[in-house]
Amino acid sequence: MATLILHPGKEKSVLRHHPWLFSGAVDRLEGRARPGDTVDVASAAGRPLARAAWSPSSQIRARIWSFDAEDVIDHAFFKRRVAAAVARRKSLPELDGQHGLRLIHAESDGLPGIIADRYGDTVVLQLSSAGAEKWRGAIVDSLLKATGGTRVYERSDLDLRSLEGLEPVTGWRHGQAADEELVIEENGVRLGVDIVDGHKTGFYLDQRDNRRRVAELAAGRRVLNCFCYTGGFSLQALAGGAREVVSIDSSGPALESARRNLALNPPLDAGRAIWLEADVFGELRNLRAAGERYDLIILDPPKFAHTAAHAERAARAYKDINLLGLQLLAPGGLLMTYSCSGGISAELFQKIVAGAALDAGRAARIVQHLHGAADHPVDLAFPEGEYLKGLLLQVD
């Protein structure tokens, strides 16, 4: 096995159990290793530290599988890690009975580059690193054993695979598509999930608890849901008794899916739902010019900053969208605003929103800090795992 030798002092992050080793920390590789191969990690003084997956094409040169330098990275390793991740979810009462559930949350479950979501008896797998790619077979087998699922579909088509020198990969790894539409129930609302062409693995499971919060807040309110995708927040607002729900997205197919989701829930009043296909930034300016006002506004935009290098440009976009949202709120209204950009910290996001409120001339208070659901844990040693951050604000 090849050994990755670190520069002097660069072992500190490993000793703190941070799972990434960047190119600047690496002195040399002793021996030969192909992308995804397991390598030993050692300090400059030769002290064994960990075992990791080698990725020469990425700025993250190695992702650590185990901080036990004697651990064997084999099929049994993945069986143990996957089983442990599934068991952790089973131990949390709030996740009991969920039809849609994240089973593996990458680094925060000790499995860098691996995401697995379950929708009923279908598991959707996403591999984003060279190490995960190498162990695909073991990961699929471990998921089947740990979950009892009958189908595994791979959605390894995310852009960041190119940073690892990997091509997009999709397709069935076990079983085949069911004849009927894949439908889950979340907080009493039925939702269709497109695992083949939908965003991420088919749905945004991380917002489950926040969608329930919308249902709790929506009664009698006029609601505006921006970047609505397939209508998860919108349907929860209707279920909560909203007077009207206006939903905006630039994707016609996503809005068609949202309408189909509404049709899956006959008790919900479709007459209270308005769907607008438009650029959200432009449409918000049109609504502002028309003098429209809303009691609850949801801003859940796509990722504006993939890394910290894009933070400045992303900050302008976040400020612009929050400024418009704050200007459209009625007195006493609520703004639920999010960032899913890993390059934007929670502290920076709050500063951006505060600046938007100042420019909008609105006094606003934080009612609640919002986060991902419990099946999206964040390892204490890996703060980068907390990509989703949100604020619930009330304005004067």
Of the pLDDT bands very low, low, confident and very high (cuts 50, 70, 90), residue 155 is very high
pLDDT surpasses 80 at 246: yes
What DSSP character marks residue 265? -
What DSSP character marks residue 236? H
Q: Which of 69-83, 212-226, 305-319, 377-391 has the lowest mean pLDDT?
A: 305-319
CA of 372: how far to CAs of 190, 207, 265, 339, in Å?
20, 6, 25, 11
- The catalytic position among 218, 340, 360, 395 is 340
**Whether 340 is catalytic:** yes
Of the pLDDT bands very low, low, confident and very high (cuts 50, 70, 90), residue 312 is confident
Sheet order of strands, 389-395 included: 273-277, 244-249, 222-226, 294-299, 329-339, 389-395, 364-370
How much of the chain is helix, strand and coil, in % rounded to 5?
35, 30, 35
In degrees and rounded to multiples of 5, residue 148 shows phi and psi of: 70, 15
For the chain, the residue count is 396
Q: Could you tell me if 192 and 181 are in contact, meaning their C-beta atoms sit under 8 angstroms apart?
A: yes
Domains within the chain, CATH numbers bracketed: 3-66 (2.30.130.10), 75-174 (3.30.750.80), 183-395 (3.40.50.150)
Beta-carbon contacts of residue 183 (< 8 Å; ≥ 6 apart)? 120, 190, 191, 192, 193, 264
Amino acid at 131: G
pLDDT in tens, 340-383: 988 889 999 999 999 999 999 999 999 999 999 999 999 999 99
Amino acid at 245: V
Instruction: Please spell the DSSP secondary structure of 31-60, one letter per residue.
Output: S---TT-EEEEE-TT--EEEEEEE-TTSSE
CA of 292: how far to CAs of 169, 221, 333, in Å?
45, 14, 13
For 273, the token pair is: 């739902």
> Tell me, what's the pLDDT at 342?
82
Kindly report the pTM of this predicted structure: 0.94
Of the pLDDT bands very low, low, confident and very high (cuts 50, 70, 90), residue 314 is confident
Of the pLDDT bands very low, low, confident and very high (cuts 50, 70, 90), residue 248 is very high
What DSSP character marks residue 168? -
Of the pLDDT bands very low, low, confident and very high (cuts 50, 70, 90), residue 306 is low
Q: How much is the CA Rg of the chain, to the nearest whole Å?
A: 22
Of the pLDDT bands very low, low, confident and very high (cuts 50, 70, 90), residue 284 is very high
For 394, the token pair is: 């009330």
Of the pLDDT bands very low, low, confident and very high (cuts 50, 70, 90), residue 21 is very high
pLDDT in tens, 185-239: 999 999 999 999 999 999 999 999 999 999 999 999 999 999 999 999 999 999 9
Helix (H) / strand (E) element for 235: namely: helix 232-239
In degrees and rounded to multiples of 5, residue 345 shows phi and psi of: -75, 165
Q: Could you tell me if 152 and 170 are in contact, meaning their C-beta atoms sit under 8 angstroms apart?
A: no
Distance, in Å, from the CA atom of 287 to the CA atom of 157, rounded to the nearest integer, reads 36
